[in-house]
Amino acid sequence: MEKNEIILKRQRSAELFEEAKQYFPGGVNSPVRAFKSVFGPPLFIKEGNGCRITDEDDNTYIDFCGSWGPLILGHNNEAVREKIVSTVARGTSFGTPTRLGNELGKLIVDHNRFIDKIRFVSSGTEAVMSAIRLARGITGKSKVVKFEGCYHGHVDSLLVKAGSGLATFGESTSAGIPESFVKETLVLPLNDRKALDDTLRAYAGEIACVIVEPVPANNGLLLQDASFLECLRLKCYKYGVLLIFDEVISGFRVGFEGAAGYYGIQPDIITYGKIIGGGMPVGAYGGSHEVMSHISPDGPVYQAGTLSANPVAMAAGYATLQQLLAPGFYEGQEARTRRLVDRIQHYADRQGYDMHLEQIGSIFWIAFTRQRITRADQIDPAGMEYFKKLHRELLLRGVYLGPSGYEVGFVSAAHTEADLDQAAAIMEEALDVVFAQG
């Protein structure tokens, strides 16, 4: 810690954190920001440009957090910024429909084979909450199946982990959630087809939906074989259960059509967030004409939001998504991310370090094992101690990752090959220090 305090100026961030504790629980407005899993006080960021952020002590970092994923174009993208500013000049919220909402809705629907209609909300959690209600309203059933290792926001019925046994009713992971809510959730391990079939067969008459992150990216990057997702789709058809893809992270990140397009699988409902706000708070859920006709005012499933489709978020989203439609955008993202990952992996292999990197599109994750990880229970908590040290060494050298070893990293369009080469060299140096310490 002494080396950290001498080399990395954190005085102003530390002061701000102490002040923040007077106003906010734990000094933060979202738990992971508290740096509980890594060294030092949280960094207070004052500015971002391109692929770099600068904190209140004037330290600058190459950023691979990107506000937890939405900044696929990098920080302070000129077109997005100008669209936001020009929109704000005319007002920030009206509580009415706007042309900007139509434009963003049309842009998404016109370029996505997997949805006919969409409903905007204000967060990914709200999108998932609304999708679950929709599924229950359509089917008249109440139970939900989710998978261990997938995170779907802080929805009461989904803040649940597996209980004892292979396919069980879950256990709450948060205080304040009634047991009656938890009993409506069944938790299964990822990539276990027998458990899936057994559960659907036993409870099909009670299960409204199965929800999954098709690219699980909130508890490590637990990439699934396409065949498992295809099996999931077929089993839901067989047992009359709706399938929800939670694409709050993967949507517009692994491709414009998200994981549904990447794998070529049609879910019944898809939830989105992050990128379609261009850095502003937003979420959405979509589906077929038939599915979405159940939503009020067309149907009996009620969902509303005062700031849903507010013009500032719609403007930012439109300016962002237009750029994602440029020819070769996603191919370039994948290629640059692969180049970064391959360089670090080759270095780690040469050094004999017990680690590997997972990658899909412009998402990557560092795992401190050589084994492929596809389920949450395969993650060794001891690896988090390695990440804790790595996070400190990277900060010292000017690279920022999200402050948890369970979080993924994101490459943006603003990361040039030169930026990524610099980050890779820093990563190699930091890994040398971490593995030397053991």
Active-site positions read 151, 246, 274
**Omega before residue 97 within 30° of 0, cis:** no
- CB count within 10 Å of CB 68 equals 16
Q: How many residues does the chain have?
A: 438
Is the Cβ–Cβ distance between 359 and 338 less than 8 Å?
yes
Distance CA 140, CA 131 (A): 14
Structure tokens at 301: 């499933």
